[in-house]
Each structure stands twice: as structure tokens, then as C-alpha cells.
Structure 1
Amino acid sequence: MRNIFSSHHSNTSSSSPSVSSHTSPINQYTFSQSLMEENIEIAEALINKWNPQGSAYTTVSYLFTDDRKEAKEFLKSIKDLQKAMHFLVTEQSTTSEKLINAQNLMQKAMKRLEKEFYQILSTNRAQLDPESISGRSSHASDLSRTSTSDFEDEIQSEDEIQSASDSISEVEQASTVAMSDLRSIAECMISAGYGKECVRIYNIIRKSIVDEGLYKLGVERLTSNQILKLDWEVLDFKIKNWVGAVKIAVKTLFQGERILVDYVFANSDSIRESCFTEITKEGANYLFSFPEFVAKGKKTPEKMFRILDLYDAISELWPEIESIFSFESTSSIRTQAVSSLIRLGDAVRSMLTDFEAAIQKDSSKAPVPGGGIHPLTRYVMNYICFLSDYTAILSDITADWPLPEQTSLPDSYFEGSDIDDFSTSNIALRFAWLVLVLLCKLDGKTELLKDVSLSYLFLANNLQYVITKVRSSNLKFLLGEDWISKHEIKVKQYCSNYERMAWSKVLSSLPEDSTAMLSREEAKQYFQIFNAAFETAYRTQSTWVVSDGKLRDDIKVSICKKLVPAYQQFYDKYRVTVRDERNFQSLVRFNPDDLGNYLSDLFYGNGISGSSSRGSHSR
């Protein structure tokens, strides 16, 4: 008799028709009793007609599908039957047989509504799938504001549905009707005290949809130990799949379920919460625990970017997660998402620390051939450039993570730039520090090079590579133009030092005083010294490398400007003097144009090419 004492309905006196003040108590009782008995008779006829255990027709047909007008009357009859039962229970003179009959009718009616509720949920899976519902959330919100206090007003006529659905698609129209019917049935059953049966059906069907949705998204239910044992290639694939899946799961699957449950059980906060929790809690908790399991694994450099992808996905979705799982009973889901964020953040900070330590501990002893780009430079700069694509995420992760005191950057590092810009940007300071650690390490690598001039070329090459990578990535905005300009000046200084060290002997092989007159023997001696010095410099540097095309050209032009005019002057002045020498061709091996040809072959790392054939003896 659970429905009789439902607190959702008004007292019998308020629901009974008004009676004239002149009507006697006996007449009033007779009139009310007659009206209630008539209500029971009307309800009995309609309920028995649609009794699930009745005729074969009612067994295979459905009220809300076949006759919406009669469905409206069916719900009204249940409401009238409920009023009659309240009246009967308050009248002590009423026979128990009438009350028992009314209760039996209510049970039959609830059986029919159970069947109708199940049929609507199961046959409208496509129309009520989370994607369709989440895509029309604004319309669902409008529906949820519709008053459903009167069951007889809940089942809309076809004209009303068509009028309300002119601006939406056919699928949306079908889902609108299904959602409206579900809400009508749910409120009727809950009001009659049969909410438990309604909730059971709803939870079974909708939970299967959530579980199926997660399965189709590739969300596997692996334990922490299983994830830790996966090869990186397999785990990498699963992480990429998860990043795509979580966005769909939150914005479509869970969002759609929240919209649907909020609408169907709009009049009961406790039922809305219990249903949504039952449907989503298990799947959502596993979904958001996956990143935490990954973060517990071995922290290697290649995992950094996947960890950041996981962090980015959760942090980006956090407003939706907080809104969708706002119930107290789903707080564990929010807690799990936050826990994963914390774990991922810890993993990133740990990997950044390990990355810096790896740069400082690099112990490679093999000198780079030709003073080219060191493998450490390529690796570190490529890694940092990729990291700079995650600036916003890293800023969040490192916001409350101060740099250790021993890694404070020296003021000279920011000479000519605004250090305050770095001090207000923790992440910019960290990137600047990582680059400085690399440059300091490269400076130590010059000890492996025996030629001092090659050491300067090595530093120029590597610093130019660093600048190029900075300019072509987000590091440009983090480190700023002042940083770039300052380091470009350093490159020029390295190049100048290289030229001075590598070509000083060649330049000094020419007379210091260009106005002084030399004897034939002195001129011959200067030609011989110059030949030897130039050939030695060329032979030595023919295997050296300058990777950056512009830097390579700038260096060669700078050498030409210093060397060719000085040699041109000496050549023009004393070539005639030694022309009659028997070994003239070997004595004057180069004309000024030859020097430019030889220099143009430098810094490709190819060794001595056929350039020597360009000497004057072959012309």
C-alpha cells in the first residue's frame, strides 16, 4: 500500500470538488464517495484494457507508441485512482474490498508503465544516445524547464510536438518525444511509490550504454600493474587513444547522460543523483585513473610529451568534469581526476630535473668532426623546442615550483635584456636556464678539440644552431629578442676569434709595410711563405664544417675581405719581379681570384677537393 501515503499529493479535502455550504455532511460524503468510485471504475476499465497479462494485443503493443491520446488518459486515470485511494483510506466506513481492488489496479497500472518505460528506453537507444543528447543540450535545458506537475499535460499531442520541433532535426524530434514520455512515466511511478522499479530499469539500460560507449572508445580496464608492464610502444598508443577518448567521453558520453537523467528525474534530486552515480561512477573512475597509473611508471625523456598530453587533456576538461560530476556521491570522480593531475605534475617536474641533470652529466668524449653541431646540442634543443609547445601547461605545473638556489642565473646572462621579464615568468626562466646549462656544457666540450681556432668555430656553429631553433619555435616568445640579439653578438665574437686564430699566419706571411720595396729574393721568400701558410690553412680547414648557410657565407666573405685585398696588392706589385724565375708557376701558385675559389670550398666538411687545380699553374 506504499502509494497511499505518498507525500507528493495534496490532502483529500483540497482535491475533492467544492461542495455548497448548504450541502449536509451526509450528502457531501455521498457525493464524494460516488465521485471516487466513478474514478475507480473509469481507471479500472482503462487499466484492465492495457493489463500486461491481458489480451494478446496488449502484450505485444505499446500504449505510448500506438495511441498517445489514450496514453494521456491512462496517466490521468492513475492520478484519479490515487486520489480515490487517498479518499478511501481516510473514510473509516469504506470497505477494505474497494481499497484492495484499487491497490490491485494500481499494481497493474505500474506493471504497464514499467513495460512502457523499458520499451521506450530500449527501442530509442539511437535517439537517446549521449551524442545526440549532448549535441542538443540547450534544447534539453528548455525541456527541463517544462512544468510536469500535471500528468495529463505531460503527453504532448502530435501537433504540439511538431510545433515545438520545427527548428530541430528528425532525430531530435524523436528524442524529444521519448524524453518527454520517460519523464511522464517516471514522475507517475515515483508519485505512486514505485520509483524503485523505475530506477532499476533506467540504471540497467543506461549503464550498459555508458559501458558500451567506453568500450567503443577503446578504454580498457587495465590494472596499475598491467599498465606498468606494457612496452613503451604499446603504452604510447594507449595514451594517444586515451587523450582522444577522454574528450568524447566527457563532452559527449557523460554530458549526455547527465542531461538525460536531469530531465527524466527533474522532480527528484535524490533519484537524479543516485541514477547518474550508478550509471557513470565505475567507468568514470577508471577513465580518470589511467593517467595516474601511467605517471607511476618509469620516467624516461620520451614519456615527457605523453605525460604532458595527459595533463593537458584533464586540465582542459576540468570545468566540464566539475560540472557534470557535481553531485556529492560523484566526488570520488572529481577527486580521481585531481589526483591524476597531481601525479602527472609530479612526474613532469621529476623529468625536468632529470633532463637538466642528464645535460650536466653528459660524458661523451668523441670530438665532433669538423667542429660541427654536437649531438647533445641537437637533442637538447629539439627537446626544449617541443617542450615550448606546452608552455601554458608547464607554467601551470611549475607555478609553485621554485628553481633551486644553485641554478639561479647570473645577471651577466641577461645583460642587455630586461631580467624582470624572466623573474615574472617562471617557465621562461626555466627554459633560459636549460639553454644556459647546454651552452656551458658545450663550452667544456671545446677541451676535446686540439685546435683553438676549431674550438671557436665549434662554439659558433652550436650557438648559431641554438639561436636558429629559438627563432623557429615558441622559445622566441619566451626568451625574447634581447636574448637572441645578445647571443647573435656572441656568435660574431666566436667567428672573429676563429678568423684571428685560423688565418693570422696566412695574413702575417705578407709584408707588414705594403709601401716598402722588396728585393727579388725577399719577394720570392714572401711568395713561398704565403703559399705554405695558405695551403696549410686550407688543408687543415677543408674538413671543417659550418652547418648554417648564412653563417658559412658570412665567415667566408669576412676572410676574403681581409685576405684577398692584401694578397692582391702584394701580387700586383711583385708578380712581375719574379716572372723570369724558372720555377715561376710553383713560386706564384695563386692569383687573387684563386683565393676566393679555394675559400668557397671551405666549411662543407668534404676534405680537400679538386680546388687545387684552380691554381695559376693550371690556368
Structure 2
Amino acid sequence: MRTLFFRSASPSPSNSPSRSTIPTSSPRHSFSDSLMEENIEMAQTLITKWDNSDVSSYTKLTSLFHDDRREAKEYLKCVRDLQSAMHHFVNSQDSSAEKLIISQNLMQSAMKRLEKEFYQILSENRENLDSETVSSRSSESRASTRSSVSDLESESEDELMVLDADQVSSIPMADLKSIADCMISAGYGKECVKIYKIIRKSIVDEGLYHLGVEKMSLSQVQKMDWNVLETKIKNWVNAVKVAVKTIFYGERLLCDHVFSSSDSIRESCFSEISKEAATTLFGFPELVAKCKKSPEKMFRTLDLYQAVADLWPEIESIFSFESTFAVRSLGVNSLIKLGEAVRGMLEDFESAIQKDQSKTPVPAGGIHPLTRYVMNYITFLTDYTEILADIFADYPLTLQTPLPEAYFGCYDVDESPISVRIAWLVLVLLCKLDGKAELYKDVALSYLFLANNLQYVVAKVRDSNLKYLLGDYWVGKHESKVQQYAGNYERMGWSKVYASLPENPTAEISSDQAKAYFKQFNAAFEEAYKKQSSWVVTDPKLRDELKVLVAKKVVPAYREFYEKHRVGLRRECGVDSLVRYAPENLNNYLSDLLYGASGGGSVSSSFSTTSSSHSRGR
């Protein structure tokens, strides 16, 4: 203690007193001075031990943080103590240039060593510090990093070989943070930040490359064949989820952890590491939105919108820095442009329905290709109900007159913008079908066509999510309309057959009159049967209902007439050829009807092209 507190120094000749009678003594040496000198000595011993600046390849073979974790911890402590000593002597009245020079040289040596350690940890732990590993670590495991690393400092090298995956990533993260804290505190943050940005940016860029994300210009996207672009959209939708939830999220966590001591550094690091890759990633949807619009591109455009919208909370959180505002802006602009594209395509879709110019009636009165395409298209739209509701929230349908209540009586559903818009599209289709029914020369067949197509529409609504948009009231109203069309077909198609029999089948009439009625019935029934044997009703239930409806009116009346007058004509020659049908056989003939050979009608080029492309796309 005497040596520590009363250490004397020989006076310098230049400081010798002018009068020999004044006793010579050194300036007063404080307790703090002695402690700081001891800090320098201890730091010099440990820093010099690990100073390999003269052997360039040495750090590749031996790592302070890998070989001796306890000594690594002591090394960082010595650097902090050395920094304290430097501050002390700079502010001390007894400022020693020699001590400051020694300290500064030691500090530079230590920073070079830590810089190499920082680089080596980052380089050798690319797999342990990959974004997926970092992002999957729970907040609980991150909170326990300090204690787990502290425990591991006492483990042997063999024991460290059996660390679990969480510890394998925790250790290098903790080491990087310790080094970064030390270097930033010493004023050498720039050196470790430069290394960190270079290595981690390459990892992020490599991650996006493996996901198939590539930088493209607007002209490249616009010139791309739709099938190729569609494949790229599918890939992007899958890639963006991994990129946001794993790559960028993991990188943000790692950056925040390593540089937690400096908000400005962690912001600049993450921004420079991720900004270029994120700009490439989030710039793609807007490019697609700017391409030529057509109904066939609707669903892929909605996929892009949904992907960005679903990930928006994460995007906003990960890229929350002011320096990453451009990335957030790209996300917002993508949603705006994609929304505009969707609204435009739906308008084009409605216009295409109204402009359909196909003039050839569908054979046999079957389902029109336009009906199939439009209803399948609208049904697919219901997979995106929430997204469409968001896109059309501020864009309600504007009509000169409101939708007819009989068509869209919203007693059991909310009149949301998307519900009204879907209802309107169906109404546009039905109005178009009314016009196409006029192409048939036979009125009965035109009603059968309307019954077939409306039944198809109702079935699509009832058996899909459309029922939640249009409601049971809508379904019930249109089912009644189907029955109305079916009744009109039955009356028009079989009126001659009904009229061929007397009003009262059992009334007394002459033999000649009875013969005339049998001839009329034969002719009328054969004409109706021949004509309608090629007609079709595609819905089995509706087909059976129609045949039952006809049979109930034809067979009982004919049976009464047949049983009343066939006996009286039995003795006359040629009666068997005149009475061609037994009542029990009429049901057999009727049961064969409305299975006509299915044939496809024509449809305008705009729909045929779109329909084939869409079927391939979905």
C-alpha cells in the first residue's frame, strides 16, 4: 500500500526548483490515478497477448471468442477499463502524454482484434445466423440469451458441440452484440458497421435470389407473355411471404439485437442492408398493375393485392424507420394501383357481357357458354370477398335507377358495395340471356332456354359463397322465376297436344268424331315428341319436374278418352293403326324427352378467349 499510495518519481531537470532549499517531490498521486494505471497495465498484458497484427493469417486459425470464452469476456472488460483510464487521464490535471499514447496504441490494437473477431463470427455463422433461424427464435429465448451465454462460458469445447439450435444462434448473436457495444463505446463503431453491412446484405440478397425474386423494368413486364407473367406472379406471392416473415423480419431482429446500444446505427444498418432488396421485391406488384388490363388477369391481380394486404402489418412494423419510408410507400402504392386495376377489370368484365354479340342459338336450349363463363368467374370472385370489399369500399355502384327489389330484395343480407356489384353483374347477364332467348323461333324452346340458364345461375349461387352475398331471398325469388319459365315452356310446348283432345274426354261423341280426335292427338303428340326429343334440360331435378308436369296433364286426359272410345271403334278396320298409343306407353315416351344431344353454342371472341385462358390460369 505504501508503494501504491506514495510512489515517488525522480524530478525532471526542467522541473527542478530554482532554490535548492525547496524540497523536491512529485505531484500528488491520487488513488484514482493508481487504479487507472493498473487498468492500463492489465489491458496491455491481455491485448498484447492476442495482438496478431504482424501475422495476417493468425486470426483465421485462432478465435478469442471461440477458444476461450472466459478470456474473451475479460478482454472486453479490459478494453472498457482502458477506455475509462484514457478518459481519466485526458481530464486529469496530471495529464500524462506517455500514458495516453500507450493507451491509444493499445486501444487501436484491441479494435483491430475485435474487428477481426466480428468479421470472423459473422462469416463463420452464416448458417447459424440465417434469417429463418433468427426469426423463429421466440422472444423468451432472446431474453434468456444473456444467461445462457453466461452459463456456456464455463463449458468445455466438447460440451459446446452438443448445443441445440437456439443456443447455436444465441451465442454468436450475443458475441456480436458484445463486440459492437464495445467498439461503438470506444468510438470505433464505423469499422464494425461496415463489416456488418457488407456480410449481411449479401445474405439478404442471396435469400431473395433463391426465392426467385429478380429486378424487372416496366417494359420487361409489359412485353412478357401472360403465361410467363402469371407464373412469375404465383412465384412472387409465395416468395413475398417468406421474404417478409423470415428474411426481413429475421434481419431486423438481428440488427436490433446487435446494435441495440445505438438507435441511429441499427437504423442505418438495417436500411442499407434491406432497402435495395425490399425495393426490388415490393416494386413488382405495381409493375403488374400498370400492364394492359383484361378480365383474365383479375385473379392474379387479386392474389397480389391480398398478399400485400395480408402482410401489411408486418411490412409496416419491420420497415418502421424513417429511412425505410420508401419501402412502406411502395407497399401502399402497390395496393392503390392494384385496386385501380381490379376496378378497371371488373368494369371491362361487365362491358364484355353487355357487348357479347353471339347470334347463334345454343342447340337444344341448353346452357349458354356466356352463362357458364360469367357464373364461374363471379364464383371465383367470392374467394376474394374481403379483398374486394376493401377495394370497392369507397367506390359504390352508381346506377340511374336502383336494383329492382324483386331482383335484389336485401332482406337477409347487408347491402355492401360488393354484394350490390355482384348482384348487378348477375342481372346484366340475365338481361343478356333474355335477348338471346329471342333468337329461337320456337317460343317453347326459348322459355326452356331461359329456364335452363336461370336454373344454372341459381344453382351456382346456392352452392357457392355467392349465397352469402345475395342471400336466401334472392335465391327464392329466382327459383320461382325458373318455375315460371318452366311453366311457360310446358304450356307453349304441349298446348297443341292438350287441344287435340276434347274438353270432356268422357263425353258421348260419334265414331267419326272419336277417329278425328285420335288422329289429332297422334299428329300433335308425334310433332311435339319429334321436336322435343332433341331438346335438353341439364338439371336432373328440373328435367324430372317438367316431365311430371307434362305427364299429369296429358296421360290422365288421354286415358279417359282412350278407355271411353277405343271399345266402340274396336270392330272397325284400321282402328289399331289409328289408336297408336296405349296410356301406359305415353309415360315411356315422355321419359325419353329432354336428354337431347348436348351441343355447344357460339360465343363472342372476347369471352371464348378469356374463358380458355382463365381455365388454364386457375
Q: Same fold (TM over 0.5)?
A: yes
Are 2:294 and 2:345, in contact at CA under 8 Å, matched by a contact in 1?
yes
Are 2:535 and 2:595, in contact at CA under 8 Å, matched by a contact in 1?
yes
Q: CA 1:599–1:28 in 2, change beyond 3 Å: closer, same or farther?
A: farther
Equivalent residue, structure 1, for 2:42: 42
User: Structure 2 matches for 1:123-162, cutoff 5 A?
Assistant: 123-139=124-140, 141-142=142-143, 156-158=150-152
Cα offset, 1:195, TM superposition: 0.2
- Residue by residue over 1:323-344, the C-alpha shift from the partner in whole angstroms, topping out at 9 and shown as x without a partner, is 1111111111111000000000
Within 2, Cα distance between the matches of 1:76 and 1:169? 26
Letter in 2 for 1:568: R
User: Structure 2 matches for 1:72-91, cutoff 5 A?
Assistant: 72-91=73-92
Cα offset, 1:52, TM superposition: 2.8
Letter in 2 for 1:276: F
Letter in 2 for 1:513: N
Equivalent residue, structure 1, for 2:402: 408
Are 1:140 and 1:263, in contact at CA under 8 Å, matched by a contact in 2?
no
Equivalent residue, structure 2, for 1:444: 435
Cα offset, 1:353, TM superposition: 0.7
Q: Specify every segment of 5 or more residues in structure 2 that has no aligned partner in the other structure, as ranges.
A: 7-24, 599-618
- Residue by residue over 1:132-158, the C-alpha shift from the partner in whole angstroms, topping out at 9 and shown as x without a partner, is 1111142355258x6xxxxxx996242
Structure 1 runs (4+) deviating above 4 angstroms are 25-28, 54-59, 159-162
Within 2, Cα distance between the matches of 1:57 and 1:363? 82
- Worse-superposed segment, 53-62 or 247-256: 53-62
Equivalent residue, structure 2, for 1:22: none
Q: CA 1:529–1:596 in 2, change beyond 3 Å: closer, same or farther?
A: same
Are 2:70 and 2:153, in contact at CA under 8 Å, matched by a contact in 1?
no
Cα offset, 1:160, TM superposition: 7.5
Letter in 2 for 1:39: N
Equivalent residue, structure 1, for 2:368: 374
1:295 is aligned to 2:289: yes
Partner of residue 488 from structure 2, selected from 487, 497, 515: 497
Q: CA 1:322–1:507 in 2, change beyond 3 Å: closer, same or farther?
A: same
Letter in 2 for 1:562: K
Equivalent residue, structure 1, for 2:548: 557
Equivalent residue, structure 2, for 1:119: 120
User: Structure 2 matches for 1:140-539, cutoff 5 A?
Assistant: 141-142=142-143, 156-158=150-152, 170-406=164-400, 408-414=402-408, 417-418=410-411, 421-423=413-415, 425-539=416-530
Letter in 2 for 1:317: L
Cα offset, 1:271, TM superposition: 0.6
Within 2, Cα distance between the matches of 1:57 and 1:245? 41
Q: CA 1:155–1:497 in 2, change beyond 3 Å: closer, same or farther?
A: closer
Are 2:64 and 2:71, in contact at CA under 8 Å, matched by a contact in 1?
yes
Within 2, Cα distance between the matches of 1:412 and 1:567? 39
Letter in 1 for 2:202: S
Q: Which has the higher contact order (CA 8 A, sep 6+)?
A: 2
Equivalent residue, structure 1, for 2:16: none
Letter in 2 for 1:506: V
Q: Secondary structure, in 3 states, of the residue corresponding to 2:361? A: coil
Cα offset, 1:36, TM superposition: 2.0
1:33 is aligned to 2:37: no
Cα offset, 1:585, TM superposition: 2.8
- Worse-superposed segment, 571-580 or 135-144: 135-144
Within 2, Cα distance between the matches of 1:590 and 1:359? 47
Are 1:127 and 1:172, in contact at CA under 8 Å, matched by a contact in 2?
no
Equivalent residue, structure 2, for 1:569: 560
Are 2:533 and 2:596, in contact at CA under 8 Å, matched by a contact in 1?
yes
Are 1:304 and 1:348, in contact at CA under 8 Å, matched by a contact in 2?
yes
Equivalent residue, structure 2, for 1:11: none
- Residue by residue over 1:371-394, the C-alpha shift from the partner in whole angstroms, topping out at 9 and shown as x without a partner, is 110111001000000001110100
1:604 is aligned to 2:574: no
1:60 is aligned to 2:61: yes
Letter in 1 for 2:408: F
Within 1, Cα distance between the matches of 2:326 and 2:178? 32
Q: CA 1:508–1:160 in 2, change beyond 3 Å: closer, same or farther?
A: farther
Within 2, Cα distance between the matches of 1:81 and 1:142? 29
Cα offset, 1:300, TM superposition: 1.1
Are 1:68 and 1:157, in contact at CA under 8 Å, matched by a contact in 2?
no
Are 1:370 and 1:543, in contact at CA under 8 Å, matched by a contact in 2?
yes
Within 2, Cα distance between the matches of 1:465 and 1:391? 22
Within 2, Cα distance between the matches of 1:512 and 1:452? 24
Within 2, Cα distance between the matches of 1:154 and 1:545? 76
Within 1, Cα distance between the matches of 2:436 and 2:207? 56
Q: Secondary structure, in 3 states, of the residue corresponding to 1:318? A: helix
Equivalent residue, structure 2, for 1:10: none
Q: CA 1:226–1:542 in 2, change beyond 3 Å: closer, same or farther?
A: same
Letter in 2 for 1:268: S
Are 1:371 and 1:455, in contact at CA under 8 Å, matched by a contact in 2?
yes
Cα offset, 1:537, TM superposition: 0.4
Equivalent residue, structure 2, for 1:5: none
Within 1, Cα distance between the matches of 2:164 and 2:529? 81
Q: CA 1:230–1:594 in 2, change beyond 3 Å: closer, same or farther?
A: same
Q: Specify every segment of 5 or more residues in structure 1 that has no aligned partner in the other structure, as ranges.
A: 1-16, 20-24, 147-152, 608-619
Q: CA 1:288–1:528 in 2, change beyond 3 Å: closer, same or farther?
A: same
Cα offset, 1:556, TM superposition: 0.4
Q: Secondary structure, in 3 states, of the residue corresponding to 1:389? A: helix
Within 1, Cα distance between the matches of 2:453 and 2:572? 47
What is the TM-score of this pair, normalised by structure 1?
0.89
Q: CA 1:606–1:284 in 2, change beyond 3 Å: closer, same or farther?
A: closer
Are 1:308 and 1:348, in contact at CA under 8 Å, matched by a contact in 2?
yes
Letter in 1 for 2:453: N
Are 2:505 and 2:558, in contact at CA under 8 Å, matched by a contact in 1?
no
Q: CA 1:59–1:358 in 2, change beyond 3 Å: closer, same or farther?
A: closer
Within 2, Cα distance between the matches of 1:161 and 1:451? 94
Within 1, Cα distance between the matches of 2:357 and 2:490? 29
Q: CA 1:282–1:59 in 2, change beyond 3 Å: closer, same or farther?
A: closer
Within 1, Cα distance between the matches of 2:315 and 2:366? 51
- Residue by residue over 1:251-301, the C-alpha shift from the partner in whole angstroms, topping out at 9 and shown as x without a partner, is 010000011111111111101100000110111111111000000011111
Cα offset, 1:429, TM superposition: 0.7
Equivalent residue, structure 1, for 2:100: 99
Q: CA 1:523–1:323 in 2, change beyond 3 Å: closer, same or farther?
A: same
- Residue by residue over 1:349-408, the C-alpha shift from the partner in whole angstroms, topping out at 9 and shown as x without a partner, is 001111111111111100010111011100100000000111010000000002122363
Are 1:295 and 1:344, in contact at CA under 8 Å, matched by a contact in 2?
yes
Are 2:406 and 2:477, in contact at CA under 8 Å, matched by a contact in 1?
no
Are 1:227 and 1:293, in contact at CA under 8 Å, matched by a contact in 2?
yes
Cα offset, 1:161, TM superposition: 8.6
Cα offset, 1:28, TM superposition: 5.9
What is the TM-score of this pair, normalised by structure 2?
0.89
Letter in 2 for 1:341: L
